[in-house]
């Protein structure tokens, strides 16, 4: 492995002035031969010099030196709270730096808004898409772009639809997007929505494309398509910057990797010179187990602890979104539910956690019917809940860690008597969770808003496991969580299962489902269309089931 761990910031400060320019250009060791190679290094499409962002006294980015070559695919990795998104928001004009410089093609620029960034050829595809579902693909592309058709010396505010539709079609054909300009966005798959976001940026003639966690909601086939097309964009002259936690995809996609920790660049590497394990170590500063050992699950057919039968429901518009969902979770088992987001998983979780009413069917634990009961009653039945959205349903950002550690369990007499909170006992419990679950925060009396995503998720994991449930409903337990916290959460789920308890795991991360589950149900269009053994089923086969297609020869329990 060549030159993997390179503390770029310190090296920059220690080098003599004559060497600094070469270091800033590529962020790597240089020699006398390097400095004269082909007369000069490849031109950087985008570069930052000592870029710093402070929020009051908190330093989110500390003298970041980053260089991305033209036509390069650069991955930016790091733990949650490391400062990756802050850095990208400065490059896209959402935030303005406290100090330092941004250079585009060697020229210093200052962005007051994303419009300035787009004008300089920078586009960004956010993790949560910014599309209008009621409009067509073509209409979404033109949103925010004013096009005027010339009539002699005059310009009218009317769009030349014929010309622009032709241009959109040419871009779709050129980059092999699976899109119809006349299709409404509401009818698109998640993967197609992401294609549309990329197409919007290409329509605006961007040369530098930033993508934030682009594969978080895609099927394996859609991930493969995205990787292939990002490489195609790079070959066609585009520069790509990707923020991602997924180490396998980093290795398959990128030319180079920059690792950020605690707001600083701690190392860089050419992708061909490194490995998943070494990148993970750089991210968290210690050795990380990337694949947990999953042994000791129950044999299929053991006693069901939790049963769901023929569950149906409708959404706010009256449309049926669940169509008779049925499954069992057995003792000593992790039952995984896989599927592309938007196929009824969110509604299923809301029903199972008391946040939404079922219109038909039943839910039972230990043979006792608990259909449509309130969340507090579920906790009385010893059901732990790791919610899909930690900030919406699991935590209150503006409340203290101690308050959040007690949330949902204030009927515990150790914490509350006759409606009076025992603040001292709550703080002691919070301190216990911080130590046991390695929750990192500067002030244990601070608010949840001060925590990174991974540490915020650990608060929920600690609270729910320490309530000693017999069933854990874990929905997207590692979403937006760094590799170190993922390792911890995965091992916690396996330890819980190995202690004889049960887990219902609902995740859009197929690798997570495959590595943790003893059985997997695949959800498509509001129903579980098949149940498979992950030990004898490939990722590609489950990916096809997630798209509604049964692979030939695959044994599926209907």
For position 324, which CATH number holds? 3.40.50.300
Q: How confident is the model at residue 31 (pLDDT cuts 50, 70, 90)?
A: very low
The pLDDT, as a whole number, for residue 15 is 36
Q: CA-CA distance, 140 to 143, in Å (whole number)?
A: 5
Residue 216 has pLDDT above 60, yes or no: yes
| Residue 112 and residue 18 share a domain | yes
Q: Is the pLDDT of residue 20 over 70?
A: no
Whether the pTM exceeds 0.75: the reply is: no
Inside any domain, residue 555: no
DSSP per residue, 297-353: PPPTTS-EEEEEEEEEEE-TTS-EEEEEEEEEEETT-EEEEE--TTSSHHHHHHHHT
Local confidence band at 451 (pLDDT 50, 70, 90 cut-offs): confident
Helix H, strand E, coil C: the string for 202-224 is HHCCCCEEEEECCCCCCCHHHHH
| pLDDT of res. 531 | 92
pLDDT tens per residue, range 41-77: 468 999 999 999 998 888 889 999 999 999 999 999 8
Burial-class residue 508 by CB neighbours within 10 Å (0-12, 13-18, 19+): buried
Residue 101 in domain:
yes
- Angle (nearest 5°) at CA 314 between 312 and 319: 125
Is residue 296 scored above 80 in pLDDT? no
**How many other β-carbons are positioned within 10 Å of the β-carbon of residue 145?**
12
**Do 375 and 496 belong to one domain?**
yes
The number of beta carbons lying within 10 Å of the beta carbon of residue 370 is 18
At residue 289, the pLDDT reads 53
For residues 156-162, give the mean pLDDT: 71
The DSSP element (H or E) to which 432 belongs, if any, is helix 423-436
Kindly list the distances between the CA atom of residue 540 and the CA atoms of 290, 511, 530, 543, 547, in Å, as whole numbers in the listed order.
20, 11, 15, 5, 11
Strands 519-524 and 304-314: unpaired
What is the rounded average pLDDT for all residues in the chain? 83
Helical residues (DSSP H) of 145-212, grouped into ranges: 161-174, 190-203
pLDDT digits (tens, 9 = 90+) for 487-536: 888 999 999 999 999 999 999 888 889 989 999 999 999 999 989 999 88
Write the pLDDT tens digit of every residue in 307-332: 999 999 998 888 899 999 999 999 99
pLDDT of residue 414: 80
**Sequence-separated (6 or more) residues with CB below 8 Å from residue 550:** 529, 530, 544, 556
**What confidence score (pLDDT) does residue 188 get?**
85
Does residue 3 carry a pLDDT above 80? no
Residues 496 and 530 in one domain: yes
| 471: three-class secondary structure by DSSP | strand
- What's the half-sphere exposure (Cβ side, CA atoms, 13 Å) at 338? 34
Range of the domain at 149: 127-205
Can you give the pLDDT at residue 215? Answer: 81
- State pLDDT tens for residues 524-554: 999 999 899 998 888 888 888 888 887 666 6
Residue 557 lies in a domain: no
Residues 311 and 280 in one domain: no
Do 271 and 390 fall into the same domain?
no
The span from the CA of 256 to the CA of 485, in Å, is 24
Cα dihedral value 35, 40, 43, 49, nearest 10: 40
- How far apart are the C-alpha atoms of 348 and 322, rounded to whole Å? 7
pLDDT at 2 over 70: no
Domain boundary among 187, 205, 223: 205
CA–CA gap between residue 299 and residue 363 (Å, rounded): 23
Question: Would you say residue 157 lies in a domain?
Answer: yes
The four Cα atoms 278, 280, 286, 290 give a dihedral, to 10 degrees, of -100
Q: How many CB atoms lie within 10 A of CB 488?
A: 18
Q: What is the pLDDT of residue 548?
A: 83
Per the structure, the count of domains in the chain is: 3
Q: Give the end of a domain, one of 186, 205, 224.
A: 205
pLDDT value, residue 38 = 37
Query: What is the CB neighbour count within 10 angstroms for residue 30?
Result: 16
Q: What is the pLDDT of residues 220-238, one digit of tens each?
A: 778 888 999 999 999 999 9
Whether 508 and 364 share a structural domain: yes
Are residue 323 and residue 376 in the same domain, yes or no?
Answer: yes
pLDDT at 301: 57
Asked if 256 and 327 sit in the same domain, the reply is no
> Are 386 and 480 part of one and the same domain?
yes
Q: In this prediction, what percent of the chain has a pLDDT beyond 90?
A: 48
Q: Which residue has the higher pLDDT, 21 or 451?
A: 451
Taking the C-alpha atoms of residue 253 and residue 259, their distance in angstroms, rounded to an integer, is 16
Q: Is residue 409 in some structural domain?
A: no
* 36 vs 211, higher pLDDT: 211
111 and 78 in one domain? yes
- The Cα-based distances of 261 to 62, 86, 279, 337 in angstroms read 10, 13, 12, 33
Same domain, 379 and 476: yes
Of the listed ranges 8-22, 119-133, 308-322, 452-466, the one predicted with least confidence: 8-22
pLDDT of res. 134: 92
- Residue 541 falls inside a structural domain: yes
If asked whether residues 281 and 311 sit together in one domain, one would say no
The residue from 257, 286, 315 where one domain ends is: 286
Instruction: Classify residue 329: in a domain, yes or no.
Output: yes
pLDDT tens-place string over residues 393-432: 899 988 999 999 988 887 787 888 887 888 888 889 999 9
Which residue reads 């046991």 in tokens?
436
Tens digit of pLDDT for each residue in 245-282?
A: 788 889 999 999 999 988 899 989 999 998 888 888 88
In a domain, 534, yes or no: yes
For 408, the 3-state DSSP assignment is: coil
pLDDT at 358 (0 to 100): 96
């Amino acid at each position: 492995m060549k030159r993997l761990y390179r503390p770029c910031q310190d090296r920059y400060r220690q080098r003599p002035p004559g060497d600094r320019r070469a270091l800033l250009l590529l962020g790597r060791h240089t020699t006398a031969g390097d400095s004269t190679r082909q007369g000069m290094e490849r031109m950087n499409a985008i570069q930052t010099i000592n870029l710093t962002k402070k929020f009051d006294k908190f330093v989110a980015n500390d003298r970041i030196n980053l260089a991305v070559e033209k036509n390069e695919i650069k991955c930016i990795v790091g733990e949650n709270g490391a400062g990756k998104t802050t850095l990208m928001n400065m490059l896209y004009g959402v935030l303005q730096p406290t100090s330092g410089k941004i250079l585009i093609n060697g020229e210093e620029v200052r962005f007051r808004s994303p419009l300035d960034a787009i004008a300089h050829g920078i586009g960004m595809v956010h993790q949560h898409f910014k599309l209008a579902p009621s409009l067509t693909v073509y209409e979404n592309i033109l949103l925010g772009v004013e096009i005027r058709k010339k009539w002699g010396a005059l310009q009218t505010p009317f769009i030349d639809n014929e010309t622009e539709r032709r241009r959109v079609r040419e871009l779709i054909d050129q980059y092999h997007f699976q899109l119809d300009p006349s299709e409404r966005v509401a009818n698109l798959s998640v993967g197609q929505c992401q294609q549309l976001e990329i197409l919007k940026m290409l329509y605006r003639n961007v040369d530098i494309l930033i993508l934030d966690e682009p594969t978080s909601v895609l099927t394996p086939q859609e991930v493969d398509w995205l990787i292939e097309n990002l490489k195609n964009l790079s070959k066609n002259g585009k520069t790509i910057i990707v923020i991602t936690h997924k180490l396998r995809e980093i290795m398959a996609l990128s030319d180079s990797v920059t690792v950020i920790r605690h707001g600083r660049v701690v190392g860089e590497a050419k992708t061909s010179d490194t490995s998943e394990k070494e990148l993970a170590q750089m991210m968290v500063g210690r050795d990380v187990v990337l694949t947990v050992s999953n042994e000791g699950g129950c044999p299929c057919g053991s006693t069901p602890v939790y049963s769901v039968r023929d569950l149906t429901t409708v959404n706010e518009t009256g449309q049926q979104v669940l169509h008779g969902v049925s499954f069992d979770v057995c003792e000593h088992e992790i039952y995984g539910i896989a599927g592309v987001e938007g196929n009824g998983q969110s509604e299923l979780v809301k029903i199972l956690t008391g946040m939404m009413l079922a219109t038909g069917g039943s839910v039972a634990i230990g043979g006792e019917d608990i259909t449509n009961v309130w969340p507090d009653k579920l906790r009385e039945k010893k059901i732990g809940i790791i919610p899909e959205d930690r900030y919406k349903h699991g935590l209150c950002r503006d409340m203290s860690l101690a308050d959040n550690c007690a949330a949902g369990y204030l009927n515990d007499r150790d914490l509350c008597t006759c409606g009076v909170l025992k603040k001292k006992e709550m703080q002691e419990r919070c301190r216990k969770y911080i130590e046991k679950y390695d929750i990192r925060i500067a002030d244990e009396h601070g608010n949840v808003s001060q925590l990174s995503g991974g540490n915020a998720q650990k608060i929920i994991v600690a609270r729910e496991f320490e309530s000693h449930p017999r069933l854990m409903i874990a929905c997207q337990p590692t979403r937006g969580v760094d590799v170190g916290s993922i390792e911890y959460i995965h091992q916690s789920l396996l330890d819980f299962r190995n202690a004889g308890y049960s887990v219902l795991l609902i995740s859009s991360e197929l690798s997570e489902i495959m590595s943790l589950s003893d059985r997997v149900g695949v959800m498509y269009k509001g129903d579980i269309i098949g149940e498979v053994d992950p030990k004898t089923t490939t990722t590609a086969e489950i990916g096809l089931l997630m798209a509604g297609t049964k692979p030939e020869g695959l044994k599926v329990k209907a």
